[in-house]
Amino acid sequence: MFRRRPHLLWLLVPFVLYLGVLPWANRVEPLVFGVPFLMVWLFAATVATPVAVWLAWRGDRR
């Protein structure tokens, strides 16, 4: 399936950001703008998820 539609691999990005990297991002220090690192990481993953879905959708239209 991925050989014919490699753009669908973009859908793995949210999974990797939320679950795959979580053991390494699960820390309070360092603080980023006064917010624990884990909260910044989860916010960045939340922002990156629609971008990854859009890229998969854009590749599927062609």
pLDDT, tens digit, 9 for 90 and up, residues 16-62: 888 877 788 777 788 888 988 888 888 999 999 999 999 888 877 76
Place of tokens 């239209």: 61
pTM: 0.73
